[in-house]
Amino acid sequence: MDAFWIVVGSGVLALAYAFFAYGKVKRFKVENERVNELSEIIHGGAMAFLSREYRWLFPFALLVGALLWFTIGMGTSISFLVGALFSAVAGYIGMTVATRSNGKTSFAATLGMNEALGIAFRGGSVMGMSVVGLGVLGIMICYALFKDPNIVTGFGFGASSIALFARVGGGIYTKAADVGADLVGKVEAGIPEDDPRNPAVIADNVGDNVGDIAGMGADLFESYVNSIIAAMAIGLTIFGDRGVFYPLLLSALGIASAIIGTMFVRVKEGGNAQVALRVGTFVTGGVMIFGSYFITKSVFGDLTLFWSVLSGVAVGVLIGYVTEIYTSGDYDAVKQIAKSSETGAATVILSGIAVGMKSTVIPVILICVATLVGFKFGGLFGIACAAVGMLSITGMTLSVDAYGPIADNAGGIAEMSHLPHEVREITDKLDAVGNTTAAMGKGLAIGSAALTALALFAAYAHAVNLDAIDLKDPYVMVGLFVGGMLPFLFSALTIQAVGRAAQSMIDEVRRQFREIPGIMEGTGRPEYERCVDISTGSALKEMVFPGLLAVITPILVGYILGPAALGGLLGGAIVTGVMMAIFMSNSGGAWDNAKKFIEEGNFGGKGTSNHAAAVVGDTVGDPFKDTAGPSLNILIKLMTVVALVLAPLFI
């Protein structure tokens, strides 16, 4: 019972941290009319998106909850609803704070670097800490109610459902707004980025929050809780209560480590924000590793499982680093893409695709290492513990990650409210750091999705109690093929959805430029809200079909071809899903930075045909890295958790 209260206490602690961090941000006063106004519009747009999204989600959640009640049981149904609710609340908190911190960050930049970093990081940490706090507490509530990890899987399903909508919908939203703003504003009308005359500029800024805050938060929330739940479910059958509480204690430790880590995120004037964030992350990781040594020893009396956890933590950090190598302008891969712009857009595309495909190799090997080390020291439970280890420091990594879009927004607001040049310089520096941390966050999101899906897969295999999911069995092989095909179909659907949504946005921006008098002179106010509305509507409409696909396919295959074929389906979807997610995220990231590398004056710089070629790559990469790629993280976790929750139906 001690363990129970320790875990609950850690969850409360995380939420308390978030509460106080929010208080500090809130108390910081912005003395600039224009900054306040813009921040308010972005905040309003983000909230409008969330409230419309949640209005769709509410009946959906109730319907699924009802179906679960009748098919699986009351406990799973309630857990599902709690999971959906907690994920939604975490998203709401994160978005609220992020869209309140952006304007404050730009104003804080007038005071100095440390002040700006302080606000932006604190804003991000509210998201990070809310996710882990609500995650741990939600699991504990469901476990206290039903005393059975197999019922708590419903909580994970709820979290996954919200994540699907947040990631797919958010991904479509952000890219539709981005493309619309860029294509008509920058290219056709020739006005700069973040120019307040552009009607889509607010939607674009809202999109950064919708995609990178709410989307990323829901993604990691899903990984976080599902890795814990999978470990609990497997642990129960092997170690009894100890197996249930061990992953929970690791998570509690992770929360404590993250709080200690955040204290190290400081920068002196003229200092390096990148270093500050890295120190914070390393301190968190170090405390986590150190502490898990003792926890493992005290729970099991020996250290075997410690190595499983350690492999997860290590691989989580390394995957982020590999992502950086393939997508940052400091390394060769991106420079090669930039160079290929000399022979035109086609070679930019080809070299970016090749880089993305090649970048699958090391992450896959790392995931395999974590899997094998996890297994060697702890069987299937060890794999799940590796996933828990990787995700235990989510409180910190997500704080760092959420900081990025806040800094990005802050720069936009500084630009739009004509703050002095030095301010923009500070926000630009913070934003550049944000791009690197975003790459690392994306790597972690994919790696953790893979490991979480594997842990859920192990739990599923356990639950349906099959002798084997045997590739020699043609039904399993057929499942593998269908599963392997789904990420391709899913990516095609989301890419096409972005295309259609962007088209509506383009039409609207063109219309406003045409019809609103004085808009180009800055005397007529653009109808920002219309653009926000269009992005919201398109995103919500377009995510229905891919969403249904993700939920219904595993159910159909399980029913028609049986639980072994469903196992094959999950295996196939996880494998191609992970490959495609890495490929598309990293191609997209590499194109983005190749363009920026040229814009820094290399290979001719802005305005040359080389730059134009690189812009084509960046445009192709946008839906790759911000819509299709991240959505696959959700797809593989959602499908596996659906299979796990519904396992009793397929036996």
Q: Which of residues 84-113 bind its own copies (CB under 8 A)?
A: none
Q: Are 427 and 106 in contact (CB under 8 A)?
A: yes
Q: Is 488 in the site for its own copies (CB under 8 A)?
A: yes
Between residues 333 and 396, which has the closer beta carbon with respect to its own copies?
Answer: 333
Token code pair at residue 630: 């991240």
- Based on the number of CB atoms within 10 Å of its own CB, is 606 exposed (0-12), middle (13-18) or buried (19 or more)? middle
Q: Is 472 in the site for its own copies (CB under 8 A)?
A: yes
Token code pair at residue 272: 């390096």
608/629 Cα distance (integer angstroms): 30
SS3 of residue 600 by DSSP: coil
Instruction: Give the number of residues in contact with its own copies, rule: CB under 8 A.
Output: 74
Interface residue with its own copies, options 62, 275, 471, 552 (CB under 8 A): 471
Q: Is 318 in the site for its own copies (CB under 8 A)?
A: no
Token code pair at residue 622: 């946008």
610/612 Cα distance (integer angstroms): 5
Q: Is 480 in the site for its own copies (CB under 8 A)?
A: yes
The stretch near its own copies (CB under 8 A) out of 241-249, 297-305, 396-404, 573-581 is 573-581
Residue with tokens 């208080």: 23
- Subset of 518-547 contacting its own copies (CB under 8 A): none
Q: Could you give the angle at which helices 216-239 and 421-464 cross, rounded to 10 degrees?
A: 30
Q: Is 245 in the site for its own copies (CB under 8 A)?
A: no
Taking the complex as a whole, the smallest distance from the CB of residue 265 to its own copies amounts, in Å, to 35
Question: Who's near 610: CB < 8 A, 6+ residues apart?
Answer: 338, 341, 342, 598, 603, 604
Interface residue with its own copies, options 16, 67, 144, 346 (CB under 8 A): 346
The stretch near its own copies (CB under 8 A) out of 270-278, 431-439, 441-449, 578-586 is 578-586
Token code pair at residue 478: 């057929």
Q: Are 87 and 218 in contact (CB under 8 A)?
A: yes
- Subset of 407-466 contacting its own copies (CB under 8 A): 454, 457-458, 461, 466
Q: Are 102 and 409 in contact (CB under 8 A)?
A: yes
Q: Are 202 and 42 in contact (CB under 8 A)?
A: yes
Interface residue with its own copies, options 44, 112, 344, 604 (CB under 8 A): 344
Instruction: Please compute, for residue 374, the number of CA atoms within 13 A of its CA located in the half-sphere on the CB side.
Output: 29
Q: Is 227 in the site for its own copies (CB under 8 A)?
A: no
The stretch near its own copies (CB under 8 A) out of 249-257, 303-311, 405-413, 491-499 is 491-499
Q: Is 576 in the site for its own copies (CB under 8 A)?
A: yes
Q: Is 560 in the site for its own copies (CB under 8 A)?
A: no
- Cα radius of gyration rounded to whole Å, the chain: 23
Residue with tokens 């879009």: 405
Residues 590-629 as x/- pattern, contact with its own copies by CB under 8 A: -------------------------xx--xx--x------
Question: Who's near 572: CB < 8 A, 6+ residues apart?
Answer: 479, 480, 481, 482, 483, 484, 485, 486
Interface residue with its own copies, options 451, 476, 551, 635 (CB under 8 A): 476
Q: Are 284 and 399 in contact (CB under 8 A)?
A: no
Q: Is 238 in the site for its own copies (CB under 8 A)?
A: no
Buried b (16+ CB within 10 A) or exposed e, 170-181: bbbbbbbbbbbb
- Subset of 378-417 contacting its own copies (CB under 8 A): 380, 383
Taking the complex as a whole, the smallest distance from the CB of residue 445 to its own copies amounts, in Å, to 18
Between residues 124 and 571, which has the closer beta carbon with respect to its own copies?
Answer: 571
Q: Are 56 and 162 in contact (CB under 8 A)?
A: no
Q: Is 364 in the site for its own copies (CB under 8 A)?
A: yes
Between residues 190 and 270, which has the closer beta carbon with respect to its own copies?
Answer: 190
- Subset of 153-192 contacting its own copies (CB under 8 A): 183
585/623 Cα distance (integer angstroms): 9
Token code pair at residue 259: 């709080």
Taking the complex as a whole, the smallest distance from the CB of residue 446 to its own copies amounts, in Å, to 13
613/86 Cα distance (integer angstroms): 44
Taking the complex as a whole, the smallest distance from the CB of residue 473 to its own copies amounts, in Å, to 8
Interface residue with its own copies, options 31, 269, 302, 467 (CB under 8 A): 467
Between residues 43 and 625, which has the closer beta carbon with respect to its own copies?
Answer: 625
Taking the complex as a whole, the smallest distance from the CB of residue 371 to its own copies amounts, in Å, to 5
Question: Who's near 431: CB < 8 A, 6+ residues apart?
Answer: 404, 407, 408, 410, 411
The stretch near its own copies (CB under 8 A) out of 203-211, 309-317, 409-417, 469-477 is 469-477
The stretch near its own copies (CB under 8 A) out of 148-156, 289-297, 372-380, 533-541 is 372-380
Q: Is 563 in the site for its own copies (CB under 8 A)?
A: no
Q: Is 474 in the site for its own copies (CB under 8 A)?
A: yes
